[in-house]
């Protein structure tokens, strides 16, 4: 019985070490995709009167040992705005359209909140805007409050 238990542990250990290692050259070698995403002008403009509440966050691709796969690079902009929710979403909808991003989804109050674009090397990227709102009882006219603009793209898989 002890030999069988040890054999099961040995097989599980070998299988885990094979499954949970990223293939060489995958992910985002040299953070090329991260920097390509960060160069998108959408992440470097704020609605009039808005202020950053923390520095722009650049998150490199990483390998998850829990599920054995890559999470792609991301850029996150967190800001505060006293403008209406509708004004903030419209600001980014206009900026996104002007820089080649395509509408992907309409969210709260029917406003566009997600865009997509194919970046160099035919890599798809997505951007999502979320504003928490201060007094959402007034709908899209309420103050946007704390907002997050998050962009991400897939990691290199081969």
pLDDT at 13: 44
Pick from 97, 58, 101: which is nearest to 78 by CA? 58
pLDDT at 12: 44
Percent of the chain with pLDDT over 90: 57
| Confidence check: pLDDT of 25 > 90 | no
Give mean pLDDT, residues 65-80. Answer: 90
Pairing of strands 74-84, 51-52: antiparallel
Q: CA-to-CA distance for 124 and 117, rounded, in angstroms?
A: 6
Higher pLDDT, 94 or 11: 94
**Cβ within 8 Å of residue 5, ≥6 positions away:** none
**Cβ within 8 Å of residue 103, ≥6 positions away:** 93, 96, 97, 112, 114, 115
pLDDT in tens, 87-119: 999 999 999 999 999 999 998 788 999 999 999
* Residue 120's pLDDT band (cuts 50, 70, 90): confident
pTM of the model as a whole:
0.81
Q: For residues 22-60, b (16+ Cβ closer than 10 Å) or e, as one string?
A: beeeebbeeeebbebbbebebbeebbeebeeeeeeeeee
pLDDT in tens, 133-157: 766 555 666 778 899 999 999 988 8
Higher pLDDT, 60 or 23: 60
pLDDT at 155: 87
């Amino acid at each position: 019985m002890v030999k069988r238990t040890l054999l099961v542990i040995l097989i599980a250990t070998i299988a885990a070490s094979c499954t949970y290692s990223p293939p060489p050259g995958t992910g985002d070698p040299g953070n090329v995709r991260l920097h390509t995403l960060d160069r998108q002008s959408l992440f470097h403009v704020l609605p009039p009167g808005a202020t950053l509440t923390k520095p722009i966050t650049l998150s490199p691709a990483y390998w998850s040992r829990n599920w054995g796969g890559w999470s792609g690079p991301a850029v996150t902009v967190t800001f505060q705005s006293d403008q209406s929710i509708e004004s903030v979403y419209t600001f980014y909808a206009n900026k996104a359209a002007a820089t080649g991003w395509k509408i992907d989804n309409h969210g709260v109050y029917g406003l566009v909140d997600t865009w997509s674009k194919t970046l160099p090397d035919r890599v798809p990227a997505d951007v999502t805007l979320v504003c928490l709102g201060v007094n959402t009882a007034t709908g899209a006219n309420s103050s946007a409050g704390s907002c997050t603009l998050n962009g991400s793209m897939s990691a290199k898989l081969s």
